[in-house]
Chain A
């Protein structure tokens, strides 16, 4: 099974206005016997959240490329978390808080996902439930804030040829009409079919910059993998 992938990250109007960097990060890479996609959203007010999110993507890759696909979830999360902490140097974890969404798919189509904090991971087979209606839009947890295993959502599923995997920050997922998440992802796959990677990215960036929700402020980051 092979993978076609597309990933894009655009800075939000709110950060542009305040002269802040894009605090989201994305990584899609080949790992031994599979593929890895990571999307992270650094917590808005923290001084080093851009670095925190970038290092989280890197930590997931550095750890996952060295371990067996069947590693126990808690052990994997602990290793990634520790690797992230070690990578921060003199920064405190609290200054670099970030969400972390990980999708790790094997060459046989088996998918493992790990998520802490806001955002959405979905596949053709499974759409994650929306978060607690008692919460508000800018309340989240993440690396550097929680050290509880129970704050992670962990899934395992078997995918087939033609299925898609999408990871997105809440700058996108919170602004998609409820129930239309998979249609949204499928629409991107269809719209970019036949385009070069460069053209597809340019089109998607333009769509995110001209997002339909009024007064949208957040950075927007998305990774899509299609099994073929």
Chain B
């Protein structure tokens, strides 16, 4: 008798949600062109990676104008057709984009507990016009949103790094700057490494090696010295 009938017929997915800034400030100095190139390259990279091992799903949230929108619902990277270049206009509702991302992450039918830890990638010049902190707080305090890996890439030489750093939670890969093609490649490499190689911690703060000395020494503690070994 074959055991196939017991196995779940659906692959475990690795969700990657791109949050792309398409506001008016992105229309100058070639920023939207750099963003379009980054998104296209990223999807192409994930298509290749999906063919090799994990099934990567990609979703695209754009934020430009009055509100953010789910430009491309979460779908298998391998099935995404050629993407039309994005246009840049209007205000920068980054906080709303964070809220949309939170809704996607909290949808347990869309992203199940079997799936791999989701990755969020923010591509922006970092100049939001709405209350982005509230949106970010909702994302980072939600049950599942707080467990996602968050990377940020700064588009353009004058990007506001502070906002992007507040978003980024990868302590090993700081905010990347997409001024040159080689920077984009470095960014892809870091994201791909995270996606395929790194095992993950229970909380975002544990992405770096844990300092066991900081844990409580209460009755629950097994009293072991893990640091010196």
- Using CB atoms and an 8 Å cutoff, list the residues of chain A in contact with chain B: 13-14, 17, 43-46, 74, 77-78, 81-82, 85, 88, 91-94, 97, 130-141, 144-145, 147-150, 174-177, 180, 183-184, 187-188, 190-191, 207, 210-217
Decide yes or no whether B113 CB sits under 8 A from chain A.
yes
CA distance A135 to B143 in the complex (A): 9
A132 touching B199, Cβ below 8 Å: no
Residues on A with beta carbons closer than 8 Å to the beta carbon of B115: 136-137
CA distance A145 to B221 in the complex (A): 13
* Number of B positions contacting A (CB below 8 A): 45
Besides A136-B200, A139-B201, 11 other A-B contacts (C-beta < 8 A): A45-B197, A88-B229, A94-B226, A134-B144, A137-B117, A145-B201, A191-B1, A211-B3, A212-B9, A216-B11, A217-B54
**Other-chain contact of A92, B2, B55, B229 (Cβ < 8 Å):** B229
B147 touching A214, Cβ below 8 Å: no
**Other-chain contact of B54, A187, A211, A215 (Cβ < 8 Å):** A215
Contact with A along B137-156 (1 / 0, CB 8 A): 00000011001000000000
Closest Cβ–Cβ distance, residue B226 to chain A (whole Å): 4
**Contact A139:B9 (CB < 8 A) given known A149-B220, A149-B222, A207-B2:** no
Residues on A with beta carbons closer than 8 Å to the beta carbon of B199: 43-46, 97, 138, 140
Contact with A along B1-41 (1 / 0, CB 8 A): 11111111111100000000000000000000000000000
**Contact A176:B6 (CB < 8 A) given known A45-B198, A77-B222, A138-B199:** yes
Residues on A with beta carbons closer than 8 Å to the beta carbon of B226: 85, 93-94, 144, 147
Closest Cβ–Cβ distance, residue A151 to chain B (whole Å): 9
A184 touching B3, Cβ below 8 Å: yes
Residues on B with beta carbons closer than 8 Å to the beta carbon of A92: 229
Residues on B with beta carbons closer than 8 Å to the beta carbon of A78: 222-224
Closest Cβ–Cβ distance, residue B109 to chain A (whole Å): 11
Contact with A along B72-90 (1 / 0, CB 8 A): 0000000000000000000
Interface residue ranges of B134-185 to A (CB < 8 Å): 143-144, 147
CA distance A217 to B7 in the complex (A): 14
Q: Which residue of chain A lies nearest to B216 when distances are taken between CB atoms in the complex? A: A148
Residues on A with beta carbons closer than 8 Å to the beta carbon of B110: none
Would you call the interface of chain B mostly helix, strand, loop, or mixed? Answer: loop
21 inter-chain pairs at a CB distance below 8 angstroms, sorted by A residue, are A44-B197, A45-B197, A78-B224, A94-B226, A133-B108, A134-B143, A136-B116, A136-B118, A137-B113, A145-B201, A147-B223, A148-B220, A174-B12, A177-B6, A183-B6, A184-B3, A207-B2, A211-B3, A212-B7, A212-B9, A214-B9
B201 touching A187, Cβ below 8 Å: no
CA distance A14 to B53 in the complex (A): 6
Residues on B with beta carbons closer than 8 Å to the beta carbon of A176: 6-8
**Contact A174:B9 (CB < 8 A) given known A139-B202, A141-B202, A147-B224:** no
Residues on B with beta carbons closer than 8 Å to the beta carbon of A131: 113
Residues on A with beta carbons closer than 8 Å to the beta carbon of B202: 135, 139, 141
**Contact A135:B198 (CB < 8 A) given known A85-B224, A176-B8, A214-B10:** no
Contact with A along B198-218 (1 / 0, CB 8 A): 111110000001101001000
B215 touching A187, Cβ below 8 Å: no
B55 touching A214, Cβ below 8 Å: yes
